[in-house]
């Protein structure tokens, strides 16, 4: 059991909303680890979670489009920053202007399940489109305030990005799980180049404080384990995830030295999830391999749906469905990223970023 998690656990019960948010706003970009309902507004059934048993532990047992039984990690990070939870999905408020939150002055969530750093990943709202939607929002903000006030607001706000796992899955699938060294290097180069483009675009729009969440060890999620004869982690997926993470760390260090005013934190979902798997009993978990909601081997051969079963002891499961964490796991992760040690958030944690 790592001491930092022991120190964090007693604080979980004390997650309360501050009287006033600690930053003007939080703007969220990414994939299903951050989506709070944008995909509900897209046609078709791809990458959606707006049906039972999703949301069974959300207030009023309401499926919102979060890929969770309750809140996701973004919700808990927003709570620690003084907000009620994640800001609303962009597609739920676009063109609405009757309150500050609907004008984007308190933040907006642009994340879309199924998307990636690469625009070729998935068929939902690409990262490029998410950034373009933010640009449209800034025009809306200017129409209700002025450029000087907007620039100040954005420079003090937090820009949270959680993405990359879908790119890794897609790359390994495209190469039949056996990419060559040259193909792997090309993938890493494309990830870094595109991540850099997105970050610079946000910087040019006024972002200065970045909170990135790295790629988790997706080779250990129930879906990946179900593909292994013994239910073990898929090392190839984890190696690719770590390779992406290592390069994004270097990218951020480089960009922060070149772009004036940039401050950042990288929350390590990779280290966090592995620490939970290494000592489940130490953090009160009984199952770190299976999906709470699903069917078949490890609950991962069938996705979570109204027709599948779900566990009663959800707080004792690491995973809610075959890919995503439970509400309880997200609560622990949010606190580790916000106030944890360098193992879980570096070069500073989110709390330090907020207070700068």
Interior CA angle at 243 toward 237 and 246, to 5°? 140
Who's near 124: CB < 8 A, 6+ residues apart? 39, 42, 46, 47, 112, 113, 114, 115
Selected catalytic residue, list 32, 115, 275, 315: 32
User: Is-cis flag, bond preceding 347, omega within 30?
Assistant: yes
Q: Is 324 a catalytic residue?
A: yes
User: For 326, which DSSP code?
Assistant: P
Selected catalytic residue, list 53, 80, 198, 324: 324
Q: Which spans in the chain are helix H?
A: 3-8, 73-80, 90-93, 127-144, 147-156, 165-174, 181-204, 222-226, 235-258, 269-278, 327-339, 350-355
Q: Which two tokens stand for residue 246?
A: 């290592």
Q: Is 32 a catalytic residue?
A: yes
Sign for the pseudo-dihedral over CA of 202, 204, 207, 212 = positive
CA separation for the pair 288, 319 (Å, rounded): 7
Sign for the pseudo-dihedral over CA of 106, 111, 112, 118 = positive
Q: Which two tokens stand for residue 31?
A: 């994939």
Distances (CA, A) of 290 to 184, 293, 306, 319, 338: 29, 9, 18, 7, 27
Work out the end-to-end distance of the chain between its first and last CA atoms, rounded to an integer number of angstroms: 31
Whether the Cβ atoms of residue 279 and residue 2 lie closer than 8 Å to each other: yes
Whether the Cβ atoms of residue 10 and residue 330 lie closer than 8 Å to each other: no
Selected catalytic residue, list 162, 163, 321, 327: 321
Q: Is 177 a catalytic residue?
A: no
CA separation for the pair 264, 316 (Å, rounded): 32
Residues catalogued as catalytic: 32, 321, 324
């Amino acid at each position: 059991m790592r001491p930092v998690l022991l120190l964090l656990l007693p604080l979980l019960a004390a997650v309360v909303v501050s009287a006033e948010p600690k930053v003007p706003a939080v703007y969220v970009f990414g994939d299903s680890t951050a989506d709070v309902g944008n995909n509900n507004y897209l046609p078709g059934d791809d990458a959606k979670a707006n049906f039972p048993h999703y949301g069974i532990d959300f207030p009023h047992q309401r499926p919102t489009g979060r890929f969770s039984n309750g809140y996701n990690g973004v919700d808990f990070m927003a709570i620690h920053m003084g907000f009620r939870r994640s800001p609303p999905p962009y597609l739920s408020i676009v063109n609405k202007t009757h309150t500050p939150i609907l004008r984007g002055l308190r933040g907006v969530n642009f994340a879309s399940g199924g998307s990636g750093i690469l625009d070729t990943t998935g068929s939902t709202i690409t990262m490029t489109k998410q950034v373009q939607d933010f640009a449209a929002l800034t025009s809306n903000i200017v129409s209700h305030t002025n450029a000087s006030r907007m620039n100040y607001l954005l420079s003090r706000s937090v820009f949270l990005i959680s993405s990359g796992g879908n790119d890794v899955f897609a790359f390994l699938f495209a190469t039949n799980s056996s990419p060559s060294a040259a193909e792997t290097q090309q993938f890493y180069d494309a990830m870094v180049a595109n991540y850099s483009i997105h970050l610079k675009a946000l910087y040019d729009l006024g972002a200065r404080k970045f909170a990135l969440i790295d790629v988790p060890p997706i080779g250990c999620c129930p879906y990946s384990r179900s593909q292994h004869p013994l239910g073990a982690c898929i090392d190839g997926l984890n190696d690719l995830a770590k390779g992406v993470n290592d390069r994004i760390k270097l990218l951020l260090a480089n960009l922060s030295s070149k772009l004036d005013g940039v401050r950042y934190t990288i929350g390590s979902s990779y280290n966090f999830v592995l620490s939970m798997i290494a000592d489940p009993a130490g953090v009160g978990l009984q199952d770190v391999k299976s999906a709470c909601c699903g069917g078949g081997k490890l609950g991962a051969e069938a996705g979570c749906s109204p027709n599948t079963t779900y566990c009663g002891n959800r707080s004792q499961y690491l995973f809610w469905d075959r890919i995503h964490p439970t509400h309880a796991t997200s609560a622990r992760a949010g606190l580790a990223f916000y106030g944890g040690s360098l193992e879980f958030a570096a070069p500073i944690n989110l709390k330090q970023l907020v207070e700068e």
